Amino acid sequence: MTTGSLTAGRARFRLPRRQIPVLATLVLLLVMYGIGVSQYQAFSNVQVIFNVFIDNGFLLVVAVGMTFVILTGGIDLSVGSVVAMTAMVSASLLQQGLPAALVLVIALLIGPTLGLLMGCAIHFFEIQPFIVTLAGMFFARGMCTFISGSSIPITDGFWTRMSQERIGDPRGNFVSISVLVAFVVVAVAAYTLAYTRLGRNVYAIGGNPQSALLMGLPLGRTRIAVYTISGLCSAIGGILLSFYTLSGAPLIAVGMELDVIAAVVIGGTVLTGGSGYVFGTVLGVLVLGVIQTLITFDGSLNSWWTKIVIGGLLFAFILLQRLIGIRYK
């Protein structure tokens, strides 16, 4: 911080403890990017980063919702299935000729409704979030195949426009609509967590639910709200995914909930709740995205080596993050 005398700086400057995990992630992300750049020439192209965002925009949105849930100390396993279900419902309704605007509204309502129901079950009946959202996951996935056993293509004009729209220089560096949507979601979420009562209650509940209750905070309302928010984010993520793939497929996004949880936790949010930031989640998604990109750039790995390398990189990353964390505590 201070550019003055080194000793004075060392004596009093301490990294703020809560930000350490996020900072560690940031540093490591830069290192990883550096490795990519040094290994592959094309990696230094800015579009590589933009592509990471384009490919993972929907993941980012869903991860933001998950951040809310994890900050309260809960977990939402239903997100992957809700993403798929939203895409399926949109595709199927569009196929039946409903107007795009109406389909958007319906699709955006399903996720939050399911989230609301799950939140109510968790709060009022005191069933563990893991189980409730696991049931939600089964339900949403079941609905997908119930709607159609095979993938439904989307040919709607609005959807194709959204899918093809490029912001920036279409031949140079550009991003897609979904990246913009994702950024808006991130900004709104960060503001909500830092500056609104809802956001602060989320942290309080994650810190100690019993205390939060005795302090007179609206425990139930907040809990239900975070699952609804997560449902909404999953719905938005589902729409973005359908922009991206221009179809709805019953088995898409299987296991996505684990990627999402991993991204949130890598971003420095603690699974027991009460500590973490949306910005960290953005970094977490980027880490996963860059790992993917590194593997695509390599191009020589067959499917099982890919998995092993992803696991290895994940391990290296988490280990380093942990060591840096300990070092600065």
Partner 1 sequence: MNDTMSRYRTMTGHRLFWPAAVLVVMLVANTIYRPGFLSIELKDGHLYGTPIDILRLSAPLILVALGMTLVISTGGIDLSVGSLCAISGAIACMYISKQPDQNSLAVVLTALAMALGVALVLGAWNGVLVAVIGIQPIIATLILMVAGRGLAQLITQGQIITINSEPFRAIGLGHLLTLPLAIFIALAAALLVAAFTRRTALGMIVESVGGNAVASRLAGIRSGRVIFLAYVLSAVCAAVAGFMMTANVSSADGNAVGLWVELDAILAVVIGGTSLAGGRFFLSGTILGALIIQTLTTTVYAMNISPQTSLLFKAVVVIAVCLIQAPAFRARFTRRRGSVPPSSAIADKPKEQVPA
Partner 2 sequence: MTDNRPVVTMTGISKSFLGVRALHDVNFRLFPGEVHALMGENGAGKSTLIKVLTGVYDTDEGAITLDGQPVSFTGPMQATAAGVSTVFQEVNLCTNLSVAENIFIGREPRRLGAVRWGEVRRRARTLLARLDLDLDVSAPLGSYSLAIQQMVAIARAIDIQARVLILDEPTSSLDAVEVAQLFRIMRQLRDEGIAILFVTHFLDQVYEIADRITVLRNGGLVGEYATAELPQLSLVEKMIGKELDVLEGIEERSRRNLAVLEEGTPLVAVSDFGRAGSVEPFSLTIHAGEVVGLAGLLGSGRTEVARLLFGADRTDGGQVAVDGTPSSLRTPAQAIGHGVGFCSENRRAEGIVADLSVRENMILAMQAARGWLRPIPRRRQDELVDKYIKALNIRPSDPEVPVRNLSGGNQQKVLLARWLITEPRLLILDEPTRGIDIGAKTEIQKLVTQLSDGGMAVLFISAELEEVLRLSHKVAVMRDRQMVAQLANDDGLDADRVMQTIASGSHREEADR
Sole binder of partner 2 in the list 8, 214, 254, 316 (CB under 8 A): 214
Q: Which of 197, 201, 187 is nearest to 72 (CA)?
A: 201
What is the residue type of 112? P
Site for partner 2, residues 152 to 171, rule: CB under 8 A? none
Site membership for partner 1, residue 83 (CB under 8 A): no
Q: Which residues contact 137 (CB under 8 A, 6 or more apart)?
A: 77, 78, 80, 81, 257
- Restricting to residues 9-38, name those near partner 2 by CB under 8 A: 17-18
Q: Does 217 bind partner 1 (CB under 8 A)?
A: no
* Residue 299 contacts partner 2 per CB under 8 A: no
Return the range that interacts with partner 2 (CB under 8 A); candidates 178-186, 214-222, 292-300, 310-318.
214-222
Distances 62 to 230, 238, 250, 253 between C-alpha atoms, Å: 7, 9, 18, 12
Q: Which of 89, 121, 182, 285 binds partner 1 (CB under 8 A)?
A: 121
Q: Are 151 and 90 in contact (CB under 8 A)?
A: no
254 in the Ramachandran plot: left (φ > 0), alpha (ψ -120 to 50) or beta?
A: beta
Distance of closest approach, residue 73 Cβ to partner 1, in angstroms: 8
CA 285 to chain CA mean position, Å: 7
195 contact, one of partner 2, partner 1, none, CB 5-8 Å limit per kind: partner 2
Q: Which does 196 bind (CB under 5 to 8 A by kind): partner 2, partner 1, none?
A: partner 2
Rounded to whole angstroms, the Cα distance separating 79 from 129 reads: 13
**Count of C-beta atoms within a 10 Å radius of residue 59:** 25
Select 91 or 137, whichever has its Cβ closest to partner 1: 137
Could you give the C-alpha distances from 21 to 25, 72, 187, 199, 326, in angstroms and in order? Answer: 6, 18, 20, 20, 10
Q: Is 195 a residue that touches partner 2 (CB under 8 A)?
A: yes
User: What's the rounded Cα separation, in Å, for the pair 235 and 83?
Assistant: 6
Q: Does 221 bind partner 1 (CB under 8 A)?
A: no
Distance between CA 163 and CA 93 in Å, rounded?
18
Hunting for tokens 């949403």 — which residue is that? Answer: 140
Burial of 272 (0-12, 13-18, 19+ CB in 10 A): exposed
Among the listed residues 308, 269, 272, the one whose alpha carbon sits nearest the alpha carbon of residue 291: 308
The stretch among 49-57, 127-135, 166-174, 178-186 that binds partner 1 (CB under 8 A) is 127-135
**In this chain, which stretch among 33-41, 124-132, 177-185, 196-204 interacts with partner 1, using CB under 8 A?**
124-132
314 contributes a contact to partner 2 by CB under 8 A: no
Would you count residue 73 as binding partner 2 (CB under 8 A)?
Answer: no
Residue 125 lies near partner 1 (rule: CB under 8 A): yes
- Nearest distance from C-beta of residue 211 to partner 2, angstroms: 4
Q: How many residues bind partner 1 (CB under 8 A)?
A: 61
Per CB under 8 A, residues contacting partner 2 are: 17-18, 191, 194-197, 200-201, 203-204, 206-208, 210-218, 274-275
Per CB under 8 A, residues contacting partner 1 are: 20-21, 24, 121, 124-128, 130-132, 134-139, 141-146, 149, 207-210, 213, 250, 258, 261-262, 265-266, 268, 270-275, 302-312, 314-315, 318-319, 321-322, 325
